[in-house]
């Protein structure tokens, strides 16, 4: 984002005077002109080319092109380099131009929006780009605040009130209220506003969406300004006919744009490896050039000097040394194809295809919300196949974030104990329908005409207490109806619609509504509640709002009788310590209820109240007003006053809200765990709730060896608890390894090797303990302990701590991390992880906007990783291996030829073949493989999670695999050159003439190369589609068609200087000897590869090979079973049992511990163990990494667990 004006120095404070453009312009504030585009018609070509040549590969090929223009060193025509270079540059330029066109279109749409600006006492239509800081503008109902942050001056509503939606800011679709300060709320017409000349002194531009501090100076008075007086860019005016606002921040200075800072560019491990390999290849190219240059100098000195009459040196060449120097650059040009110019473009095309597959996946489409999966980036697809750690939010990610008022404790009595429907069988307040089983009837709320018919409760004793006039119960629901920030909209008489900032708050207010305490409406100074049919209006004196530090919210109201009372609700850890000592017994009982509720996975809040004396409130209110007007440290002053009044409160009770699990969460977590992916839950909920959800999700199980709970309040306590946890795990491992139980467990098919060695452990740590654990001197100990556990749950964590935990794992574990969440508090975690996934749920879209991938339900994560991620990694690795192979096989032929042509930089192939090899003959087949290939079907990828492990271990493409591909390419090039060379030495044509000539040799080698690499990609392709067939055989057909065309009479007549060898291809390929040579070369190149693969499949099969073998066995068994049934033979129990397992592993997936069989049961279908090689490699990786994974050697042993 750029602005049209020039940059300026950072501000220390902002001064804005209303209706004074000349005064404001001297500060050079940012204008409202938005420019996100990078180019225009004049600058596009030079700027885009400059950007593209920032890429090392493009600059390298430009350098080669310049070299080819020097006649003394160029043995190839310039078009052999410029054609592929121009093609790559053109494709990239078209993409950039298209993107920039849409940026221009968006800029024009925004900049040309019309607005009503007060100029000279008259409202005029102005384009947004011409709006300036200090202007007064008018907004109307449903109008989008497009470009500026405004100070609300007045509105059509009483008391300067207006309602807004902030979905673009924080993702919340509920309405919020903003209010003008009283002194400006009276400025209702344009004549009064035109005379308004107040000056605002406020904070400089920043990214804090929920905070604003400033002061209005007008008529020798000053008035405090806060965020409640601001209309930020991105909000929409609702239910308000009109309002006027003063522009404070414009364009890039708005808080929304300040928050859209640069997101960290994420690169995959394969990207980083490719860059390293390309540098290695370039070094190899230089080495080959040096070798051939030395050979040229020696040859010219020893042999060439004797043939000066026949082979004179070029003009300007006076020595063998200088000839060698020129030969070096000539060979750099000829051998440049080992550094593939089309590599990066091909990679981007493949990634784009993978992204579309994710977007088009109907199995990841949520019909209920009409939300498809979306790949918001194209650069990380293959890294989805390498994830080892998942960091997940709980609320809205594992759970639905649809809150249902479930239980409550009032004055020591617990309500809601009656039998309730199973999870998912209830209709929540948002109207999600579900079927009811045979359960007790819900409470009848027909006595209340304002009750929400969708609300259900299952304990009638609470309603009886309300009807009997229990004062504590009445006060309980009175608090719920008053202490909130919900907005009420009454569409028709008695039809209320609540707009709540959070689902929790909506559920609590709805519960109070159904039990007879109906919140009807609010103004800035009043709240109207219908209490058991009687309308009562309370004077709203103050709102002590919720934040992440306070973890509580309070309101101070005055009843119609004049009594002043503070109502407070908040987290139990905060409120219980602020109660009056007289509540000790009640607090103990309520705490027991809270623990019980939390143990059931319910979200809890504590409710309390406090009566205030008139004199005390008056004094406190005055101090509050002074604190609100303080120019500095305003938030600190307010926090101290809030804390002062929220003490010595009286306990009312507690609420318990159920946040239901999303569908498929336990199964998804179980399957991902089998794929050796460790899942950490990072949540702001209390420990008991998080632990219970952990058990519900099957992250924690009763079969676990131990669940460690870290709750220390000091550094020493936390360090000691972590040390004890590590000692217990190590002792248990030693006892298992040294005893008979180790062999017993190894022989058992029901237990994995990991269980036999270390057992299954889990770690639960609180936020205050985590703060100590993340300190520099203890973070390694914490990571050691956590990584040795199967599951980790961090409770009561802040958004910053979530990001710190992810960063800690990235820092010390060389593993790919994925963070998944649905709320604004998950954004930092999502941006920190290698891969960020956003859930489009109830908490808005901020997480989605910050993510790399998004979908609507957690269960889709297993398909994203195990299918799309694994396939993307597999395809990219196979593409890279083949790409490097074919380029080395093509290029190294020139190297061998150099030893037989006097190192003269003569090419083997003609220049047109060199130009078209990577563009036409071999480009499309490898792209088809990179886009469509798969080793096993998607069902098997889900059924056998162990197939995911090769990506985690980086087995399919690494430095070792790269050197194997290079070796195969060099081997192919040797055979490709020397077999035809040996045959042509003595071969003759059918007419007895000598067969050996330069062009016949070139055609034979080129044809052999195209056939060999085409057969090779056929062998590499594991999943054939019509596109693969078309591209492979079509590329071969295109080669022969172009070959015969280039040696035709027609082209010779049109371009006699370019196509001299008329009829050569036809004559050469008409010779049986040539075809026998081509066949011999192809067989010798391919047969060793086929033999090696058969031996590897037989002696050391990969897991995917075993899965395919398993499917073959199943098909045979199924065929035999059908034959037996067709013959009328009665099946035995044994055959019936076997057949039932041929239909899949549904029961295993739905079960708990037995689910681990799905990946281990493969051995029962194969004569050899199939996964031991992975386990062995994992152990080897752990041993090798013991010296580099962390700062201390002792720590490393545990880090690699």
Contact 843, 822 (CB under 8 A): yes
Cα separation, 599 vs 596, whole angstroms: 5
Name the one residue in this structure whose structure tokens are 């694994």: 870
Distance CA 215, CA 203 (A): 9
Torsion of CA 987, 991, 996, 1000, to 10 degrees: -120
Return the SS3 of 15: strand
Which phi and psi (to 5°) does residue 1039 adopt? -60, -50
611: exposed, middle or buried (Cβ count in 10 Å: 0-12, 13-18, 19+) = exposed
C-alpha span between 414 and 602 (Å, rounded) = 14
Give the contacts of 908 (CB within 8 A, at least 6 positions apart). 893, 894, 897, 977, 1001, 1002, 1005
Q: Say whether 997 is catalytic.
A: no
Own/partner contacts of 311-317, CB < 8 Å, gap of 24 or more, are 314/72, 316/72, 317/72
Count Cα atoms within 13 angstroms, Cβ side, for 782: 29
In the DSSP assignment, the letter for residue 547 is -
Neighbours of 631 (CB within 10 A): 12
Structure token digits, residue 807:
């960063």
**Which candidate, 953, 946, 928, places its Cα nearest to that of 1020?**
928
CB 612 within 8 A of CB 597: no
Active-site position among 170, 393, 659, 822: 393
Secondary structure, 3-state, 425-440: CCCCCCCCCCCCCCCC
Residue keyed to tokens 């194209």: 378
Specify the 3-state DSSP secondary structure of 165: strand
- Measure the CA–CA gap between 547 and 827, rounded to whole angstroms: 17
Place of tokens 């030395």: 294
Beta bridge partners of 245: 137, 152
Residue 656's SS3 state is strand
Q: What angle do CA 608, 407, 567 make, to 5 degrees?
A: 15
Closest to 1078 in 3D by CA, of 941, 975, 946: 975
Cβ 256 vs Cβ 168: under 8 Å:
yes
Q: How many residues does the chain have?
A: 1201
Tell which residue, 139, 94, 157, has the closest CA to residue 245.
139
H or E, element range at 163:
strand 161-166
Contact assessment for residue 983 and residue 709, using Cβ atoms and an 8 Å cutoff:
no
> Radius of gyration over alpha carbons of the chain, in Å?
37
Angle (CA) 561 562 563, round 5°: 95
How many whole angstroms separate alpha carbon 1145 and alpha carbon 1103? 18
Q: Which of 917, 852, 865 is nearest to 891 (CA)?
A: 917
CA atoms within 13 A on the CB side of 1189: 24
Say how far apart CA 299 and CA 914 lie, in whole Å.
Answer: 26
Residues contacting residue 151 through CB under 8 Å, at least 6 positions apart? 200, 214, 216, 225, 229, 230, 231, 245, 246, 248
CA distance 713 to 1136: 59
The rounded distance, in Å, linking the Cα atoms of 997 and 926 is 33
Q: Which residues are catalytic?
A: 393
């Amino acid at each position: 984002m750029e602005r049209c004006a020039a940059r300026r120095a950072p501000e220390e404070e902002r001064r804005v005077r209303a209706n004074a453009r000349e005064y404001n312009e001297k500060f050079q504030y940012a204008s409202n002109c938005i420019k996100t585009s990078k180019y225009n018609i004049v600058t596009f070509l030079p700027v885009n080319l400059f950007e593209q040549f920032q890429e090392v590969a493009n600059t390298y090929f430009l350098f080669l092109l310049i070299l080819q223009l020097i006649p003394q060193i160029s043995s190839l025509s310039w078009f052999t380099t410029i054609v592929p270079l121009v093609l790559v540059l053109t494709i990239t330029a078209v993409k950039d131009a298209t993107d920039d066109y849409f940026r221009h279109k968006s800029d024009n749409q925004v900049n040309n929006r019309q607005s009503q600006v007060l100029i000279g006492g008259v409202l005029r239509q102005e384009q947004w780009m011409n709006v300036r800081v200090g202007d007064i503008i008018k907004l109307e109902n449903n109008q989008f605040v497009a470009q500026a942050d405004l100070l609300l001056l007045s509105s059509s509503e009483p008391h300067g009130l207006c309602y807004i939606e902030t979905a673009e800011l924080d993702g919340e679709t509920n309405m919020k209220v903003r209010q003008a300060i009283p002194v400006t709320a009276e400025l209702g017409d344009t004549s009064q506003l035109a005379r308004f000349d107040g000056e605002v002194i406020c904070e400089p531009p920043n990214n804090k969406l929920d905070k604003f501090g400033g002061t209005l100076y007008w008529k020798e008075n000053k008035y405090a300004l806060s965020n409640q007086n601001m209309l930020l860019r991105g909000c929409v005016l609702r239910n308000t006919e009109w309002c006027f606002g003063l522009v404070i921040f414009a364009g890039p200075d708005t808080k929304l744009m300040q928050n859209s800072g640069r997101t960290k560019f994420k690169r995959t491990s394969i990207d980083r490896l490719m860059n390293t390999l390309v540098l290695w290849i370039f070094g190899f190219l230089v080495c080959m050039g040096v070798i051939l240059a030395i050979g040229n100098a020696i040859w010219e000195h020893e042999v060439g000097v004797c043939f000066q009459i026949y082979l004179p040196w070029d003009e300007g060449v006076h020595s063998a040394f200088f000839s060698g120097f020129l030969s070096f650059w000539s060979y750099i040009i000829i051998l440049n194809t080992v550094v593939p110019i089309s590599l990066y473009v091909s990679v981007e095309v493949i990634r784009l295809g993978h992204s579309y597959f994710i977007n088009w996946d109907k199995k990841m489409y949520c019909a209920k919300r009409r939300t498809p999966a979306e790949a918001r980036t194209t650069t990380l697809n293959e890294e989805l196949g390498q994830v080892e750690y998942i960091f997940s939010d709980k609320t809205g990610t594992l759970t639905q974030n649809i809150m249902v008022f479930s239980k409550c404790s009032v004055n020591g009595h617990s309500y809601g104990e009656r039998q309730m429907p199973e999870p998912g069988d209830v209709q929540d307040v948002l109207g999600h329908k579900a079927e009811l089983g045979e359960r007790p009837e819900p409470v009848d709320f027909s006595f209340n005409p304002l009750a929400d018919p969708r609300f259900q409760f299952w304990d009638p004793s609470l309603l009886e207490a309300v009807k009997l006039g229990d004062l504590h119960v009445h006060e309980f629901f009175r608090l719920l109806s008053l202490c909130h920030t919900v907005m009420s909209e009454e569409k028709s008489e008695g039809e209320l619609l609540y707009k709540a900032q959070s689902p929790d708050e909506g559920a609590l207010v709805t519960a109070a509504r159904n039990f007879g305490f109906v919140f009807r409406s609010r103004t800035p100074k009043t709240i109207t509640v219908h209490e058991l049919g009687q309308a009562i209006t309370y004077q709203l004196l103050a709102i002590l709002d919720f934040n992440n530090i306070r973890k509580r919210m309070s309101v101070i109201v005055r009843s119609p009788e004049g009594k002043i009372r503070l109502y407070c609700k908040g987290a139990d850890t905060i409120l219980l310590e602020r109660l009056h000592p007289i509540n000790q017994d009640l607090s103990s009982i309520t705490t027991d209820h809270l623990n019980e509720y939390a143990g059931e996975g319910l979200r809890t809040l504590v409710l309390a109240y406090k009566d205030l004396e008139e004199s005390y409130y008056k004094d406190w209110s005055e101090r509050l007003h002074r604190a609100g007007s303080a120019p500095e440290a305003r938030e600190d002053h307010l926090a101290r006053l809030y804390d002062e009044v929220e003490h010595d409160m009286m306990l009312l009770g507690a609420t318990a809200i159920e946040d239901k699990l999303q569908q498929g969460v336990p199964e998804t977590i179980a399957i991902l765990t089998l794929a050796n992916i460790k899942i950490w839950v990072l949540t702001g909920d209390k420990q008991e709730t998080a632990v219970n959800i952990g058990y519900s999700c099957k992250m924690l199980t009763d079969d676990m060896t131990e669940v460690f709970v870290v709750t220390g309040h000091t550094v020493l306590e936390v360090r000691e608890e972590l040390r004890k946890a590590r000692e217990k795990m190590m002792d248990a491992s030693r006892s298992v390894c040294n005893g008979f139980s180790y062999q017993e467990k190894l022989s058992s098919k029901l237990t994995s090797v990991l269980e036999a060695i270390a057992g299954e452990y889990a770690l639960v740590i609180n936020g205050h303990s985590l703060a100590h654990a993340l300190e520099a001197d203890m973070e390694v100990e914490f990571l050691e302990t956590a990584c040795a556990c199967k599951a980790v749950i961090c409770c009561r964590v802040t958004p910053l701590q979530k990001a710190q935990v992810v960063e800690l794992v990235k820092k010390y574990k060389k593993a790919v991390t994925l963070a998944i969440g649905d709320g604004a508090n998950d954004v930092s975690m999502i941006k920190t992880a290698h891969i960020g996934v956003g859930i489009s749920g109830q908490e808005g879209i901020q997480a989605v906007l910050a993510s790399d991938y998004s979908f609507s339900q957690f269960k889709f994560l297993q398909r994203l990783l195990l299918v799309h991620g694994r396939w993307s990694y597999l395809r990219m690795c196979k593409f890279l291996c083949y790409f490097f192979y074919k380029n080395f096989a093509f290029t190294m032929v020139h190297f061998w030829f150099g030893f037989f042509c006097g190192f003269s930089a003569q090419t083997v192939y003609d220049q047109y073949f060199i130009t078209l090899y990577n563009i036409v003959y071999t480009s499309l087949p490898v792209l088809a493989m990179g886009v469509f290939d798969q080793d096993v079907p998607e069902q098997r990828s889900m059924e056998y999670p162990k197939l995911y492990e090769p990506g985690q271990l980086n087995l399919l493409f690494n430095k070792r695999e790269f050197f194997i591909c290079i070796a195969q390419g060099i081997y192919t090039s040797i055979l490709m050159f020397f077999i035809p060379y040996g045959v042509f030495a003595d071969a003759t044509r059918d007419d007895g003439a000598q067969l050996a000539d330069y062009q016949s040799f070139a055609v034979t080698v080129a044809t052999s190369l195209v056939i060999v690499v085409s057969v090779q990609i056929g062998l590499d392709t594991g999943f054939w589609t019509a596109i693969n067939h078309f591209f492979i055989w079509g590329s071969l057909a295109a080669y022969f068609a172009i070959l015969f065309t280039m040696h035709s009479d027609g082209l010779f007549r049109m371009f006699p200087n370019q196509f001299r060898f008329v009829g050569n291809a036809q004559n050469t390929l008409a010779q049986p000897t040539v075809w026998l040579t081509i066949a011999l070369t192809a067989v010798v190149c391919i047969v060793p590869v086929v033999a090696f693969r058969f031996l590897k499949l037989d002696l050391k099969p990969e897991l995917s090979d075993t899965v395919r073998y398993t499917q073959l066995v199943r098909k045979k068994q199924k065929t035999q079973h059908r034959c037996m049934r067709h013959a009328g033979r009665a099946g035995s129990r044994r055959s019936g049992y076997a057949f039932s397992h041929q239909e899949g592993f549904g029961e295993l997936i739905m079960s708990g511990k037995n689910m681990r069989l799905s990946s281990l049961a493969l051995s029962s279908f194969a004569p050899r163990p199939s996964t031991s090689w992975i386990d062995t490699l994992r152990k080897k990786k752990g041993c090798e990494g013991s010296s580099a994974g962390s700062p201390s050697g002792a720590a490393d042993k545990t880090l690699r667990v």
